[in-house]
Structure 1
Amino acid sequence: MQKLYGVDLLREPNVNKDLAFTTREREVYKLKGLLPAAIRSQELQVQIIMDNLRSINSDLGKYMFLRDLQDHNKRLFYRVLQVHTRELMPIVYTPIVGLACQKYSLIFKRPRGMFITINDAGRIFEILGNCGEPEIKAIVVTDGERILGLGDLGANGMGIPVGKMALYSAIAGIPPELTLPVTLDVGTNNQSLLDDPYYIGLKQRRATGPHYDQLVDEFMEAVVKRWGRSCLIQFEDFGNKNAFRLLSKYKKDYCTFNDDIQGTASVAVAGMLASFRKTNTKINQHRFLFLGAGEAALGIAHLLTMAMVENGMDEETANSQIWLIDSQGLVTQSRPGIRDDEHKWPFAKNVKNTKDLMEIVNLVQPSCLIGAAAVPGAFNESILKRMAELNKNPIIFALSNPTSKAECTAEQAYQHTDGRCVFASGSPFDNVVYKGQTFVPGQGNNAYIFPGVALAIMACQVHEIVDEVFLVAANALAEQVSKEDLNIGSVYPSLDNINEVSLLLAARVAEWFFNKGYANVRPEPDDKYLFLKSRLYDALYDGSNFTKHVEETHHAWHQHD
């Protein structure tokens, strides 16, 4: 890196330390007079950032404050995230990132990531070279069609890849200079955005068909041409139809996965596996009813089948334990065209068609009720009470994001099941006190899965990501849920420990990659945990040691390339 001095150094977020520059550094780098006399430790800086953040009353204001910090002092931003993960996760990710995406055009200041439009077809390889980083090893890409439960937000959806990439580094220690958020701007069908004078994206209807497919094909090929076969491409918040289709199309030939399908499945199944420990039951004893049959629900359903097969059940019997409800009602075999739907057909049942949730609950008598349809309040008092009548410990997962789309709140779940349910949600809920007992509801946050999985994929230089990876990750996460976690009602480890949780999960996944022959790093390291730990990004800054650490980490990531 070229040496910077004076105001240029203070304006470069990669190396700026603000008041943490020592007396000697202020002399050497010509900072005298540009900073007040005080010298602050990074620890004190973190404390001051949090004091400022907590004084902001607006959720959007908190989000913007952190974005500004990232643009001003990158290491301090990541250090704050690492130290205060539990408090800041809802800001940089769900649920507040949903609001940020809705307002993204209004709050847009300094560009982050890359916007590739449908009009850039034929030039994507060249355009990727403008990203400013010579060696990218992980990309999160969206086309903005289905942002959380908020629908088509077009180019405003960039908030999702930006947030995901921040968690790559803050949680899994992936060096931020190796990551790139990307939005494929193919237009939007959201009329309010098309009419918005502030909108930052293309003001045209969404491209579809061959035009769309050619753009995505060119993007995938350009990434590999520029950064190699092992560059990870994580798909995020594509519409249901494209999400499944593109995953099926690319998974064999590219290092890619879809977090909404596979990451969500992994974290949800992990929560269920932990729930079964709490209820002292086996997975094969359960019946699962999904409200929703989109990316998340189908991803979870297929991974549950895989988990049941792993536990000795045949696939057909496993599928029979899973029931789906979509916008047309219960997924049945008599529905017109259902045989052509390869994702839903395995779960279609030979029963009458109905849309009535209570009627379906009475028919299925599920032990696990999973919400993934973004229908707020769908799990009402009557439904929850019926689940409590059917089960000693009903498992209620209200997974829809953001919080406003949740099928029920944690308080409603505990109250209407007499405190007997095992509850998890997609967005965070406050602790609930019911009949003198304090419940700490677990958040089935994909951040438990995708950063650690990505770390293992990148470090092992994997070329193909098979579905089994996400069952390995689910088991690794579930095993880290302690008895203490389960006793307070949480089916996930504490977010306070998420860095270590992610590293242990990544080590398990890496071990699996080597055992199954998917890893391309040679020689195979004896200790996968230490192998991964040597690659972690360190957000601390301690004088000249920082430059040394960057050089050593960079060498670790590139020595096998």
Structure 2
Amino acid sequence: MASIQFVKSLIQRSLCSALKQNRINFVRSASLKGIEYLKNSKINKDAAFTLEERRSLGIHGLLPSTILTQEDQLQLCKERLKTFSGDDVKKSIFLYDLQERNEKLFYKVINENLSDLLPIIYTPTINKMCNNYGLLFTQPKGLFLNNLDIGRIPEVLKNWPESDVKIVIATDGENLQPNLGDMGVNSMLFPVGKSTLYTGISGIKPHQCLPITLDVGTNNEKLLKDPSYLGLRQKRITGQTYLDFIDEVITSIINQFGQNTIIQFEGFNRENSLTFLKKYQKKCCFLIDDLQCKGAVVLAGLMASEAILNKPIKDYTMLFLGIDETTFEIANTLVKHIMEENGSNLSPEMIKNNIWMFDNDGLLTQARIEGKLFTGDKVIYAKDFEPTQNPVDVINKIKPNVLIGNSEAKTFFKPDVLYQMAEVNQKPVIFALNENSNSSFYQDIYHHTQGKAILATSSIFKPEILNKTSVPGHASSCLIYPGLTLGVMASGLKNIPDELFGVAARCIAEQVTYEDLKAGRIFPRLELLKNLSIDLATKICEYSFKEGLSTIRPEPQDKKFFIKSHLYNYEYEDILSRDLEWVEMAETSTEEVKKGKNSGKLNENFEKSVSEDETDKIEDFVDTKNEKSRKVSFDDVNIVERFPPESFKTKSEPTA
């Protein structure tokens, strides 16, 4: 009996701790009064509060008399966005103002208008906003860690109000986009935007995402002289000091939020990105989407293109225009996939013979690197071929099926190059992976290939803007990372192995329909991105359990249901019917714990479900009285061990 009482006491303390840390949504309204409900973005419904809620919560008279539904508000937001026609920056500012006021409505708007708003809440619009970040800053949406805090990073991390963080998106702002370069602390808009996409696309809860900017200075003289710049006014730190700072940040994140926390880096110097990937990939859930996800995206597009070219990828000849670390990462991803598909029939050398690379210094040949201190990938992909600085000559001789333009694509996508691709191919596959907001750049690709091109772009444009006969596919990493990370979370993985990117690419390619291919599109439509991410997360989860990588026990029988039942709810909740009973219980429990007594009401709720042999596992477990059946949550990997396999069985599946 003493053990039972001890367990109940632990439960009560856990509940009180959860209330204090704002981990339980319904309790967030417990201490609010009157107008504070309208100032809390997680609870505020604006004019959608019912009359009963307005009177009970003390906000009657603080809102106009008309009571709207969330759908009404959604339509009003759409109308408001139309008033900013032609000004994407104003649209973005309006949306982020909405987020600060009404979180549910913000994500509802994003989720139901994803294809239209994706370029507004992320690139290319935030590229335009970076230079004026100091003027746009209103309140913190993430953490700023700077090198002056070396040795105190754990203390700073504890200042973040959420403890249930599952994904950290971090940047040091050195290499955001080819046309931006070093943006220092202004780069915060990128992890904030990516955090928004995680919730808007894959339904990961907002409080589980933590955007971080690593302020290590900037070498951008314009920013250093700008009075509105909010970062450290110093040159970037480098060398061992920089590496030690990064190491402390990653170690502190893992210690603070757990080994399963996904740490996503973006916008780092390419060489640094490769260094960090090699160092941390097997030590934690480390992800660099600039390198890894982009390779998976290209692989997915090539898989889908097999049906158009009527040949397998292993028989493709590919020419990269522009060479950097991303180029080699994409190429290595393709080589690894082809080897996995063909077993011992092909050697890596045979596959690499079909991959050619060209940059401002010409074709990557053995003669070009001879006598120079090149190692690794540059040597591997160098060809025993006559040196040339004319890409048309290369296309004429090797007749590539695929042209992959990376960061320097605009430099090489000239009329003669595109014309020659159309001459040697009936359907040339062209990837334009550089960010370019000028639609004429892509129109020229169609024009100079006589409309033959199967085009995939990193930028988003409406089909009618570009070409009447073909529709460009959207080759963005946002096809990969939302679903990938959701699957990693659901599986409780401790690192992210390379094989998962092959699984992701295959899943994306399988979503391309006959209608897509007929239209010349080798990627799924953006309107399907939400469901695609859930399907991708399910595939990742299935693979993780099959390969014994998952730490979740027992294994969910219906993995898709398991994932979907714990996604963010975009709909408003009835505060009164759901919360008031819990507020009363929470207040009662808090008072009883302070007195050192047991709450009879709380004890009665748990007596039926807690046994003595669970005392060692119950510390962080908070039961929910109004749930008809227990659900497994990957919010806490360890919690899964407390549920029997029967709890995973279900007859119905909730909709996305």
Q: Same fold (TM over 0.5)?
A: yes
Cα 1:546–1:240 change in 2 (3 A) is farther
Partner letter of residue 205 of structure 1?
K
Q: For 1:465-480, list aligned pairs within 5 A.
A: 465-480=496-511
Q: Is the 1:365–1:390 Cα contact (8 Å) retained in structure 2?
A: yes
Please list, as runs of the form range in 1=range in 2, the aligned pairs for 1:8-407 lying within 5 A after superposition.
8-56=36-84, 57-149=86-178, 150-312=180-342, 313-334=346-367, 335-336=369-370, 340-376=374-410, 378-404=412-438
Q: Is the 8 A contact 2:167 2:210 kept in 1?
A: yes
- d(CA) in 1 for partners of 2:478, 2:203: 13
Amino acid aligned to 1:342: G
**1:263–1:141 distance in 2 versus 1, CA, 3 Å:** same
**2:452 partner amino acid:** R
* Distance (whole Å) between structure 2 residues aligned to residue 337 and residue 299 of structure 1: 25
2:633 pairs with one of 531, 551, 556: 556
Tell whether the 8 Å contact from 1:507 to 1:528 is kept in structure 2 after alignment.
yes
- Does 1:498 pair with 2:492? no
Q: Which residue of 2 aligns with 1:542?
A: 573
Distance 1:380 1:134 in 2: 51
1:319 and 1:285 map into 2 onto residues whose CA distance is: 11
Question: Which residue, 444, 449, 459 being the options, matches 1:427?
Answer: 459
**In 2 relative to 1, CA 247–369 (structure 1 residues): closer, same or farther, beyond 3 Å?**
same
Q: After TM superposition, give the deviation of residue 238 of structure 1 in Å.
A: 0.7
Secondary structure at 1:557 match in 2: coil
Letter in 1 for 2:565: S
Shift in Å at residue 533 of structure 1? 0.9
Contact 1:464 1:518 in 2 (8 A): no
Is the partner of 2:496 in helix, strand or coil?
A: coil
Once the two structures are superposed, what CA deviation does each residue of 1:198-239 show, in whole Å capped at 9, x if it has no partner? Answer: 111111111110010000000010011111110000111111
SS in structure 2 of the partner of residue 438 of structure 1: coil
Partner SS for 2:430: strand
- The 1:554/1:10 distance shift into structure 2, 3 A limit, reads farther
Instruction: Tell me, in whole angstroms, the C-alpha distance in 1 between the residues paired with 2:480 and 2:271.
Output: 24
Q: Distance in 1 between matches of 2:193 and 2:371?
A: 38
Deviations 1:507-551 (A, max 9, x none): 111111111121111111112211111121111113147769x97
Q: Does the 8 Å CA contact 1:425/1:443 hold for their aligned counterparts?
A: yes
Please state how far the C-alpha of 1:80 moved relative to its aligned partner.
Answer: 0.5
Is contact 2:409–2:432 with CA below 8 Å preserved after alignment?
no
Residues 170-197 of structure 1, C-alpha deviations (whole Å, 9 max, x = no match)? 1111111111001111111111111111
Aligned counterparts of 2:268 and 2:397: Cα–Cα separation in 1: 33
Tell me which residue corresponds to 1:464. 495
Per-residue deviation at 1:402?
3.8
Larger Rg: 2
Q: Secondary structure at the match of 1:325?
A: strand
- Cα distance change, pair 190–274 in 1 and its aligned pair in 2 (3 A): same
CA–CA separation in structure 2 for the residues paired with 1:390 and 1:101 = 42
Say if 1:48 and 1:433 are closer, same or farther in 2 by CA, change over 3 A. closer
Compare relative contact order (CA 8 Å, sep 6+) and give the higher one, 1 or 2: 2
TM-superposed deviation, 1:245: 0.6
Structure 1 length normalisation: TM-score?
Answer: 0.95
Unaligned runs of 5+ in 2: 1-26, 583-622, 639-656
Matching residue of 1:444: 475
String of CA shifts for 1:384-425, please: whole Å, max 9, x gaps: 110011111101111101425x9x733222222222221010
Displacement of 1:375 in angstroms is 4.5
In the alignment of these two chains, the number of paired residues is 557
Deviation at 1:120, TM superposition (A): 1.1
Q: How far, CA to CA, are the matches of 1:554 and 1:17 in structure 2?
A: 27
- 1:372–1:192: structure 2 CA closer, same or farther, 3 Å change rule? same
**Which residue is 2:556 aligned to?**
525
Provide the rounded CA distance (Å) in 1 between the counterparts of 2:39 and 2:631.
23
**Aligned counterparts of 1:396 and 1:438: Cα–Cα separation in 2:** 16
Q: Which ranges of structure 1 fall in alignment gaps of 5 or more residues?
A: none
How far 1:338 moved relative to its partner?
Answer: 6.1
Residues 403 and 360 from structure 1, CA distance in 2 versus in 1: closer, same or farther, beyond 3 angstroms? farther
Give the Cα–Cα distance (whole angstroms) in 1 for the partners of residues 104 and 272 of structure 2. 36
Q: Report deviation, 1:139.
A: 0.6
Do the aligned partners of 2:492 and 2:634 also contact (CA within 8 Å) in 1?
A: no
Task: Give a deviation string over 1:452-510, Cα, whole Å, max 9, x none.
Answer: 00001111111111111111100000000111111122211111111101100111111
Q: Distance in 1 between matches of 2:229 and 2:473?
A: 36
Does 2:440 align with 1:412? no
Question: Residues of 1 paired with 2:273 and 2:553: CA distance?
Answer: 34
Would you say the 8 A contact 1:142–1:235 is kept in 2?
yes
Over 3 Å counting, the alpha-carbon distance change for 1:365 and 1:164 in structure 2 is same
Residue identity opposite 2:366 in structure 1: Q
1:113-164 CA-to-partner distances (Å, cap 9, x unmatched) read 1110111111111101111101211111111011122211111111111111
Alignment check: 8 A CA contact 1:6 1:30 kept: yes
State the 1:268 CA deviation: 1.7
Q: Secondary structure at the match of 1:260?
A: coil
